[in-house]
Amino acid sequence: MGPDHEGGDEVRDRGHNVKIVLIYENGDANTASSYSFPFVYWYAFVYWYLLDLIPPSCILLRENRGKIMNQNKIQEKKDLVWKEQSRIFRKIKENGFEVYASSLKKLSDMFGVQDGYVRCVDEGTPGGFHAAGSGILRSKKEMLKIFRDAGVRGVTSHDGCGAAKMFAKANCKDETCGDAEGKKWAKELASELGVPYRHISFAKMQRPKEFHISRAAYYDGTGCFNFGDGKKLPPGYIISRQIQSEKASLSEILLGLNISFGPNGFGERITEDEPFILVAVGKTKTDTVRLKKELRSLEHPYGKKVIIDGFTAPRT
């Protein structure tokens, strides 16, 4: 099919059409039609791969190429983070989480004074209280009561929020509006609570923009746990069981598992040998045992790829 059949404006994004248009947009259409097909292919190849000066008609092709390159880079980056974390997980595996955590010199720093801001359960936003998307998936009335009772001092939203994206999808909105919906929710909540609102951009988040790095989820019964910089305790989702019901907290654990086992998480890297850990974090030993029991009641489809462990906060 030649340019005469296509017309200058009727650009296609695949097959011969694009290659013909390459010629067409760079000169005389009549001249283009006189080229032999092999030459046209050769010309398009040089144009696309070597010059990299791609006209608008090839944007889809360029994007596809970009996506493939980007995906490869993301997988390499994931491998690197996974490898780095494996060092910590190997130590945890030796004698369990309790023994490993108690061997850390500054464990008490992970239970310091918190700022009272509500953040997502996302591992990129540690600190303060936690609820998925700052509670966007639940009723406003319920969340206002929970946050008032907890003495919340601020509400945040963040870039790339999976919970806000789920909310947008569930409410028949374009999922690309997720972040806008997340901001709207957090602002409204902050306003009704009479506390400040803050947005956390990717630049300030403790994870890469492109994917989640959790191989652990902390089921926090203390209300002030923070895994720090992720170099001693592994980074993970933090679920504030201390301020929310068992049912709501377990549903947030499941949300985290689904992310981590999906394309935005470590996915198939998580195995029975190198499992995801649900970590009960109790104020006392009895508390830790109770939280572990709750975690055992969670039904999920990942079998032995998910294990339950836990540790108790140091006495202050």
Binding site for Zn ion (CB under 5 A): 120, 122, 161, 163
Query: What one-letter code names the amino acid at 81?
Result: V
Residues 6+ apart with CB under 8 A from 52: none
Q: Report in angstroms how near the CB of residue 80 gets to Zn ion at its nearest.
A: 23
Of 189, 191, 159, nearest to 176 by C-alpha is 159
Q: Which two tokens stand for residue 119?
A: 């953040």
Return the DSSP state at 268: G
Nearer to Zn ion, 19 or 212 (CB): 212
Between CA 261 and CA 269 the distance in angstroms is 9
Nearer to Zn ion, 131 or 270 (CB): 131
Q: Report in angstroms how near the CB of residue 16 gets to Zn ion at its nearest.
A: 45
Question: In Å, what is the CA distance from 87 to each residue of 84, 142, 279?
Answer: 6, 41, 18
Q: Report in angstroms how near the CB of residue 298 gets to Zn ion at its nearest.
A: 20
Nearer to Zn ion, 100 or 167 (CB): 167
Of 87, 91, 109, nearest to 100 by C-alpha is 91
Q: Which two tokens stand for residue 167?
A: 């909310």
Question: In Å, what is the CA distance from 21 to each residue of 3, 18, 237?
Answer: 7, 5, 49
Q: Report in angstroms how near the CB of residue 263 gets to Zn ion at its nearest.
A: 17
Q: Report in angstroms how near the CB of residue 2 gets to Zn ion at its nearest.
A: 51
Nearer to Zn ion, 253 or 313 (CB): 253
Nearer to Zn ion, 207 or 232 (CB): 207
